Amino acid sequence: MRHGFVLAALMAMVCSCIADNAPRLSRAEKDIIDAEGIMRVLTVSDKEDSLVLRSKCSDFPVKILRSERFVRLADRMIATVTDSTQDGVGIAGPQVGLKRRVVAVQRFDKAGEPFEVYPNIRVEYLSDEKQTGPEGCLSIPEIHGEVERSQTVVISYVDIRTLEAVRDTVRGFTAVIFQHETDHLDGILFTDRM
Ligand SMILES: [Zn+2]
């Protein structure tokens, strides 16, 4: 009985922190976000960069998602991926030096094809139906190759306007971008899947 009680109390403690147990931003992370202009894109050819690109990422604390600092990060990630020197369709946290679960993705499935930013994102479902298509990566500038990806994904993330956890079903090329970018958050590069 007593053991059961202790276990229940422990579980309650664990569960109460699951909602927001993300590590606080380090000084180095704040410096990366607070800098000016286009962000430096890490590449696999640099030894230290490749360690970051192979890391597992953490969520952002909800407090950060509410802050001006996160708005700044979202703006700078979009400015970086759309810059003429990069001209990408998606970018992930580790690619700008942050081991955090955030991606910016161009929504080819939405009117105007806007870039949108998705913090604390996870892939919840991958369809068995696959498609093979060409991919490249801002962090591996020299290589392009064919990768097989699911045609449909279900993603979960925190909506940056409402700060609510939401789910979204995405299909086609945009679903491929989400798979490529969320792979980055687990330290996986598209060349691993070629
Ligand atoms: Zn990439």
pLDDT of the residue at 128: 98
- CA–centroid distance, residue 10 to ligand 1 (Å): 40
Burial 70-87 (b: 16+ CB within 10 A, else e): beebbebbbebbbeeebe
Is the full-model pTM beyond 0.85? yes
Is residue 42 within 8 A of residue 97, CB to CB? The reply is yes
| pLDDT tens per residue, range 44-90 | 999 999 999 999 999 999 999 999 999 999 999 999 999 999 999 99
10 Å CB burial of residue 58 (0-12, 13-18, 19+) is middle
- CA–centroid distance, residue 6 to ligand 1 (Å): 45
Q: How confident is the model at residue 18 (pLDDT cuts 50, 70, 90)?
A: very low
- CA–centroid distance, residue 94 to ligand 1 (Å): 10
As annotated, the active-site residues are 181
Type of residue numbered 153: V
**Which CATH number is 22-193's, of 3.40.5.10, 3.40.50.10490, 3.40.630.90, 3.90.45.10?**
3.90.45.10
| pLDDT tens per residue, range 167-194 | 999 999 999 999 999 999 999 999 999 9
